[in-house]
Amino acid sequence: MPILAAFAVPHPPLIIPEVGRGRERGIQATIDSYEEVGRRVAALAPDTVVVTSPHTTLYRDYFLISPGASARGSFAQFGAPRAAYKATYDTELVAELCSVCEQEGIAAGTDYERDPRLDHATMIPLHFIEKYYTGFELVRIGLSGFSPAEHYRLGMAVQKAADAVGRRVVFIASGDLSHKLTKDGPYGFALEGPCFDERITKDFSTCNLLDILCMDHSLAERAAECGLRSFQIMAGALDRTQVTSELLSYEGPFGVGYGVAAFTPVGDEGADESRALLPQYEAWRTADLATRKAAEDPYVRLARASLEAYVREGRRIAPPQGLPQELLSSRAGCFVSIKVDGELRGCIGTIEPTKATLAEEICANAISAGTRDPRFRAVGAAELDDLVYDVDVLTEPEFTDEAGLDPARYGVIVSCRDGRRGLLLPDLDGVDSVSEQLRIAAQKGHIDLDFDDYRLQRFEVVRHL
């Protein structure tokens, strides 16, 4: 059994005494649980500790496994340069993991590291483990923009690689829960924050790792969490393993959720097929996509039909008979957004109408969203069944100032007289303040809010799902 145990842990910098300077006493339950994690790791005496971190180098389409023989880091950015740590990497396990990922078609490896320093989400668990045990090497893995299934598969690869080289491994999934628990917290409050934390801590308590894979992406995004993908990799590392789980502690006094949980393999009867969660997740996902598709309204069905005909047959469809009259008799700007597993796959739209009817506007923008968004490669035929669409129909923009903005209700257009213009739709996951909305819209238009002379417009949308 290569995975001796797994732990889900948070990474608040103030838990380090040199950083907290007394404030750490406000999360004493988390400290006590971390101490227990350290003691349990020492009792297991692993050869290697594998840490997944949201704060090392992250790519949309690649898992970075930290290269080299060792790394150092400190809490200098948090005002405590003397709180410094060093780790020796398990180069043999890293090499085997890279080999397994290549064999399994997982985009992972040791290339493209931007910053070799240990990050705080890695150093904090090291701080508590090394208080009790130092006889281990480290493997550090970053997260990605891939699907839950791909994160789970990476965890499976960790298990397979550890078994191949005979390593006894403790897995540490580093990640905070919601950052939006209180109005006076550093990130504000969102209703989804407590909901997310309640669900995750229940999953930890009941060892419901499948639910962690099935977590609604929008809920997680609006809760502003940073640990979910770490937990999904951890679930894969425990694939086909019978485990017991314990929620050691949960608290959020500073507006951020800190959960500590332990997962302990039990029994030696071999693989537990009931814990093979990847097929169960794929079955759930297929059913979920079918349910979403069956519930699509005519606007979304039209967008889907347009892109599918273009990708599969290379043709542009004419709006079919039987559409609601407003699609055939009205004109409006609209945006078509496409997502896969909750992650954006393309979004293109028009602020003002460019076609004779709204139906034609939707058809054209759906094709553009799937094939002409410069941030993504064109959608391929094999992806079509996995796509989820939104269609946002815009009202006519009106000029306003910052006081008239509300990111939950209004989209915003930031424009300059030289033609630069950036737009952001309303009610987007993770965009909760006017300042954040303006920053993103201006960035899209290459506009400097501090120096450029710009104007603001707002608009509302009717969102079709």
pLDDT tens string 193-237: 999 999 999 999 999 999 999 999 999 999 999 999 999 999 999
Condensed to tens digits (0 to 9), the pLDDT of residues 275-310 reads: 999 999 999 999 999 999 999 999 999 999 999 999
Helix axes 228-237, 277-294, angle to 10 degrees: 130
In order of 317, 365, 395, the CA distances from 333 in angstroms are 19, 10, 8
* β-bridge mates for residue 59, sequence order: 62, 144
Name the nearest CA neighbour of 27 among 18, 15, 35. Answer: 15
Using a 10 angstrom Cβ sphere, with 0-12 exposed, 13-18 middle and 19 or more buried, the burial of residue 164 is: middle
Segments of the chain assigned to CATH 3.30.700.20: 296-390
pLDDT band at 272 (very low <50, low <70, confident <90, very high): confident
Report pLDDT for 273: 86
CA angle 221, 156, 224 (to 5 degrees): 10
Condensed to tens digits (0 to 9), the pLDDT of residues 153-209 reads: 999 999 999 999 999 999 999 999 999 999 988 899 999 999 999 999 999 999 999
Question: What b/e sequence results for 90-104 when a residue is b if at least 16 CB atoms lie within 10 Å of its CB, and e otherwise?
Answer: beebbebbbebbeee
pLDDT band at 1 (very low <50, low <70, confident <90, very high): confident
Segments of the chain assigned to CATH 3.30.1490.150: 395-465
CA angle 146, 148, 154 (to 5 degrees): 75
Report pLDDT for 267: 74
Residue 358 · residue 334 · CB < 8 Å: yes
pLDDT band at 270 (very low <50, low <70, confident <90, very high): low
Residue 90 · residue 137 · CB < 8 Å: yes
> Alpha-carbon distance 351 to 169, whole Å?
54
Helix axes 277-294, 148-165, angle to 10 degrees: 170
> Alpha-carbon distance 355 to 350, whole Å?
10
User: What CATH number belongs to 296-390?
Assistant: 3.30.700.20
Residue 132 · residue 39 · CB < 8 Å: yes
Judged against a pLDDT cut of 90, whether residue 271 lies above it is answered with no
Mean pLDDT of all residues in the chain?
A: 96
Could you tell me the CATH superfamily of domain 395-465? Hypothetical protein ph0010; domain 2 (3.30.1490.150)
> Alpha-carbon distance 376 to 412, whole Å?
23
Report pLDDT for 430: 81
Residue 389 · residue 338 · CB < 8 Å: yes
Judged against a pLDDT cut of 70, whether residue 334 lies above it is answered with yes
Report pLDDT for 269: 61
pLDDT band at 348 (very low <50, low <70, confident <90, very high): very high
Report pLDDT for 105: 98
Report pLDDT for 389: 98
Dig out the tokens for 314 from the structure: 């290379």
pTM of the model: 0.92
Q: Is 58 helix (H, G, I), strand (E, B) or coil?
A: coil
- 3-state SS, 321-346, equals CCCCHHHHHCCCCEEEEEEECCEEEE
The answer to whether domain 3-275 has CATH 3.40.830.10 is: yes
